[in-house]
Each structure stands twice: as structure tokens, then as C-alpha cells.
Amino acid sequence: MSLTKTASPPATVAAATVPFLDLRAQQARIGTEMRRRIDTVLGHCQFVLGPEVLELETELARRAGAAHCVSVSSGTDALLIAMMAEDIGPGDAVFLPAFTYTATAEVPLLLRATPVFVDIDPDTFQMDVVDLDAKVAAVLAAGKLRPRAVIGVDLFGQPADWDAINNVADRHGLVTIDDCAQAFGASLQGRPLGSQAHSTAISFFPSKALGAYGDGGALFTQSAERAALYRSLRTHGEGKMRYDVQRIGINGRLDTLQAAVLLAKLTVFDEELAARDRVARHYDSRLGNLLQTPVRVPHSTSAWAVYAVLLPTEAARARVQAACQAAGVSTAVYYPKPLHHQPAYAPHHDGSRLPVSEAVATRIMALPIHPDLTAAQVDQVCDAVAAALAATALT
């Protein structure tokens, strides 16, 4: 390889790009603590269920205001274990929003239960609890499935309407599962998310607000009985002793190295939540009169996993995304398709329309939000969006 050979410089120098996520910048801030934590694990070599795992669980439970925390191998496995613990299976209806990440619907189907898709609120994009009530009534009237559980999703980092969900669940004896994969660190009515449902599942996928350097997740519960079941299920259904198999479980543990990474990240987590909130408010103030910015769930704080705006039409979204890309601004679409339209899930849906989920999927667009975005970068994003909208209005 020639040492003198260099890439030819671009003809015009584009503005520096604004990345959707910047894990490198975060690593530069916390590198010393991160290396100390990882070195400690390399020293003791307890790579599975080492001391960092218990330390992490204790700290997460404290932050979530939950009596128990059980760490697991991913957010998806957290949902799976939560449902296995309730013996959810064939003949059971599990209610969940149609507008969420695929894992929320995948897990009931893995257990051969039936997902029942519920529409969302057009302003907050959280599950529409009036529709939830109607869907439970419809399942009861049809008499084929047993309503068993509802998975509320704290979409984009904002809390679902837990008072209303719990009200429906109590009336029908449903188990409540909080898919809090995007919202660890958020709060509702002054209380952290973590004890609003029978079971709360979070994810440490690297792009989440609290992300590991690989997969991971955790479950919170107020019930000692449920916590014991979760611990058993994450280790092959083991009983009080090793090689005593009490139930069918999975290999669902969180690696000690990931626990060490998360403990290092927790040292700056509160500052990062505040930084994300600053970015969100900066976007609000600059874009609020140009398009629909995130409508806040009352009496809540958000973990700002996603800052999503609504464009007037699908065509306008395509034009704005293309213009942003040309201006070096990353955007993304969460989610381009509601789950009842996914090929894998459509056969399990009754074919009815979920009009809000369907419409929002065509118009929604996410802007970069992470703790290392500078005010200048946020302005660069806003400039690009404003210019694209102005050009769109002219055509």
C-alpha cells in the first residue's frame, strides 16, 4: 500500500455532518471510569453474574423507584421473561399499540399468544386508552380469546397514560407490562417509571438513552414472587440449586462486562437526561411554529429517546429528509409501518383499520437528539429543516 496515496479532496467542502447519535463523543467524556470498570472485570474474570451485575441491579432499582430489579440479556428478553412468568400462551389476547418497535408484538407471538393491536393518540403517539377499552370489549364479545395482558409502551421516551391503562386492566383483570425500553429515566406525576405496571421492561441497546456496549435489558417489579420467577427464568428455569430445573426458561442473563459499562454510564446519566431535554426545548423553540413538535404527556418528564416531528404529508417528509441529508443532517423514521401492516404480523390481525397509527407512520420524522449535540449543531438541524420546509412550500 502506497503511503503517499491520499483520497482526492471533495470539490466543495460540505458543512460538518450532524450525526443521529454520537457514542464516540460520550466515550471521550467517560473513558477513564469506563476503563477502570472494565479492567476490574478483566481482573476478577466473573463474566457471568459477577459482582457488577448485583451492583447495577441495586442502583437501577433505586433510580426506578422499584422494589426489585432483575437484569437480563436484552429488552426483548425482558418482555419475554415477563410474559413467561405470567404463563401467557395460546388462547390469550395481549393488547399493545400498533405504533411501536417490532419487539413489542414479537414476544406474545413467540409464546403463541395473539397480539391485539390498539391505535394511538394523534398528539402524543401513546396508546389510545379509549381504543384499548373498545378492543378488550370486542375480544370479550367475540368469545374466542381470553384477555390476559396489556403492554403499554412509553413511546419515544414519554410515559404512556398509566392511570388510564391500569384502570382498564383492573376492570378486566389484565396483567400490565410496561415496555419502557425507550423511557428509562423518565417520570410520571413526579415518580420515575418503573413501578407503574406489574412488570416494567427496559433495554440497554446501545442507542437507548442508557445504552450498553452490546445487548442488555432489565425488569422491574414490586413483587418479590415475580422477581424470583424472573431470576429463575433468565437462568434456564433453575430452582434453588443449580441443575434443579423447575420450569422452562432461557439463557437470558446480562453479561458482567455490560453491567460494568452501564455503571460507568450511570455516573453521567442525570446530566445526559438534562442535556437531552435542553436539546428538545431548543428544537421546540425554533421549530414549534413551522411543524408539529412533540406534544408533552401531562405531568411527565421524557427520556428523549426520539424527538419526532410531524410533516404535513408523506411527500413533504421525503423532500425534507432529502434536503436534510444534502445539508449533512441525519434524520430517521420511527416507524415507517404500523405493526398490523408488517407481513409477519398482518395474518394475526383482524384486518380492521387503525387510522391514527397508519397516518402518523406516513408523516413522522425523527431529528438527532443526544447529550453531545452542541447548540450550533441543533441550529444547523433547525436551519436545514426550516429551509427544506420553505422550499417545499414554494413547490
Ligand X SMILES: *Cc1c(COP(=O)(O)O)cnc(C)c1O
Interface positions with ligand X (CB under 6 A):
74-76, 100-101, 103-104, 153, 179, 181-182, 203, 205, 215, 217
Question: Which residue, 23 or 386, has its beta carbon nearer to ligand X?
Answer: 23
Question: Which residue, 153 or 327, has its beta carbon nearer to ligand X?
Answer: 153
- Contact 256/50 with Cβ under 8 angstroms? yes
Minimum CB–partner distance for residue 121 and ligand X (Å): 16
Amino acid at 267: T
Other Cβ atoms closer than 10 A to 205: 20
- Find the angle CA(313)-CA(307)-CA(83) to the nearest 5 degrees: 105
H/E stretch holding 224 = helix 224-234
Task: Determine the length of the chain.
Answer: 395
For 237: left if phi > 0, alpha if psi spans -120 to 50, otherwise beta; the answer is left
Minimum CB–partner distance for residue 153 and ligand X (Å): 5
Question: Which residue, 119 or 179, has its beta carbon nearer to ligand X?
Answer: 179
Residue whose C-beta lies closest to ligand X: 75
Minimum CB–partner distance for residue 389 and ligand X (Å): 28
Minimum CB–partner distance for residue 101 and ligand X (Å): 4
- Contact 177/150 with Cβ under 8 angstroms? yes
Torsion angle of alpha carbons 302, 264, 198, 102, nearest 10°? Answer: 70
Minimum CB–partner distance for residue 29 and ligand X (Å): 23
Question: Which residue, 182 or 200, has its beta carbon nearer to ligand X?
Answer: 182
Beta strands at 175-179 and 146-153: parallel, antiparallel or unpaired:
parallel
Question: Which residue, 76 or 195, has its beta carbon nearer to ligand X?
Answer: 76
Torsion angle of alpha carbons 181, 186, 190, 193, nearest 10°? Answer: 10
Question: Which residue, 128 or 215, has its beta carbon nearer to ligand X?
Answer: 215
Minimum CB–partner distance for residue 94 and ligand X (Å): 14
